[in-house]
Structure 1
Amino acid sequence: MTKNLVSIITPVYNAEKYLGETISSVLAQTYKNFEYILVDDCSTDASAKIINNFALKDNRVKYVKLERNSGAAVARNTGLEKAQGAFIAFIDSDDKWYNSKLEKQVKFMTKNTLGFTYTKFDLINEDGSLKKADVQLPKKLNYTGLLKNTAIACSTVMIDKRIIGEFKMPLVRKGQDTATWLKILRSHEYAYLLDDVLNQYRSVPSSLSSNRIQALKRTWNTYRNLENLPLHKALYYFGFYVMNAVLRRV
């Protein structure tokens, strides 16, 4: 692995509306030592054209297309298989990064020898206007803490594989990111917050994460079917999850 190379992974499915903004925010990073792997899950819109137009101008942009529509977990795992970097970062196809995101996060992790970090973010509306600034998050989360407060947004995560090791996302259509963080935290004590707002998380009405009923179902499925928690423990952690989600109002 190239020293401190960051491999950035984006699953893409019919993302033409915001994809250009997402890619532009990555290419505008002050930290330049990265590769950007965009995995096309058989989009039927202009997503492929958008990616390839950027790739023609910047060889750090890498276009990968799946043979069949398989979901975000397979797309992210395909990106992980292609990744050459010591660091792994994720950004969803409708989110954006502030331009110092990678620089500050790599510095934070290398200075403190951290394997798993996340950052704070601004919540934005579909049109890019600010919905909620500086969403407050816990300073660190262990396994049980994450069960109580699923506060780690995928687009804020960075993982150092030299510390965490190789990992894959569970092959489920919904909630594979939180399930992955839980899996990592079974053997690594904490994920740590970089206490800086470095991301814009877009609240899109049609997205899975913006639908609160779906979010409740997704989290319950994670507790019961992925983590295999007994009913009484699932109910205990689910109560904390709901409370913390209300407090964040995200």
Structure 2
Amino acid sequence: MADLVSIIVPTFNTEKFIQATIQSVQNQTYSDWEMILVDDASTDETVNIIKEFAQTDHRIKLHKLEKNSGNGFARNFAVQKASGKYIAFLDADDLWFPIKLEKQINFLKKHNLSFTFSFYDWIDEEGNPLNKRIEAPLNLTYKQLFYCNYVGNLTAIYDTEYFGKIILETTQKRQDWRLWLTILKQINQAQPVPESLAFYRIRRDSISSSKFKLIKHNYSVYRDFHGYNFIFSFLLMIRFLFTQLFVKPSYTRKI
């Protein structure tokens, strides 16, 4: 019997995308998974759409929060409910290639790893390809991750038998980066599956679509998560911006 993968999906007002996201999971060639969707008090049809899928597929599990508590809280809630050996992450507007889970689980086992991720491609809000692929160093070190988040949340998987269930503070943004930093502190280096296995949707209303809008959240990683003082955190932000502008672009490919 294959190892169970718990797929963590926080949702909030994603009625336009959630059907395609769920279907991309149902289309996986690796079938031993549970999809834990935690709805953060949506006011649209998101919950009703999920309910329709859950009625016909027992692997899809819906939990509803009574009040809007933020993406980080919803993700932590889902992790606590997870039963799988592996925990994978997927946002409610992103998509997986059908071979995604099978490729990554095989990669983890073949190389005796406890954590991995992959490259991914960009699509626009309507699902059209933007002909852009985001890659990462093939041997990602903690130092590299410290200055730039190379790990796409929609591609990451970790082994709970090695790490346990990792629960972080519920920050508005960059909770994923803090999670990868926590993991890399333990294993020092991570290997991605060196191919694209997912589609990241660029939304017009998404704060993540602008690197500069995320500056204050990136700063908080250095100031609050690492506990550095104001001046050192500011200097690290300068280094972060340098990496974003001059180093990370070398890991972006036109396709």
TM-score interval, normalised by the smaller of the two chains: over 0.9
**Alignment gaps of 5+ in structure 1:** none
Q: Alpha-carbon deviation of 1:212?
A: 2.4
Aligned to 1:194: 193
Look up the equivalent residue of 2:82 and give its one-letter code.
A
Residue deviations 1:127-146, cap 9 Å, x none? 11111332221113232211
Structure 2 counterpart SS, 1:16: coil
**Alpha-carbon distance in 2 for matches of 1:141, 1:169:** 22
**Alpha-carbon distance in 1 for matches of 2:190, 2:238:** 22
| 1:1-250 alignment runs, 5 A limit | 4-231=3-230, 233-247=232-246, 248=248
**Alpha-carbon distance in 2 for matches of 1:151, 1:135:** 8
**Alignment gaps of 5+ in structure 2:** none
Q: Check conservation: 2:119, 2:135, Cα contact below 8 A.
A: yes
Structure 2 counterpart SS, 1:221: helix
Look up the equivalent residue of 2:7 and give its one-letter code.
I
Structure 2 counterpart SS, 1:150: coil
Identity of aligned residues (%): 36
Distance 1:4 1:183, change over 3 A: same
**Alpha-carbon distance in 2 for matches of 1:215, 1:165:** 29
Residue deviations 1:105-159, cap 9 Å, x none? 0000011111111100001111111113322211132322111121111111000
CA-based RMSD? 1.7
Structure 2 counterpart SS, 1:134: strand
Q: Alpha-carbon deviation of 1:235?
A: 4.3
Look up the equivalent residue of 2:208 and give its one-letter code.
S
**Alpha-carbon distance in 2 for matches of 1:32, 1:192:** 24
**Alpha-carbon distance in 1 for matches of 2:99, 2:173:** 30
Q: Check conservation: 2:80, 2:165, Cα contact below 8 A.
A: no
Stretch deviating more after TM superposition (17-26 or 223-232): 223-232
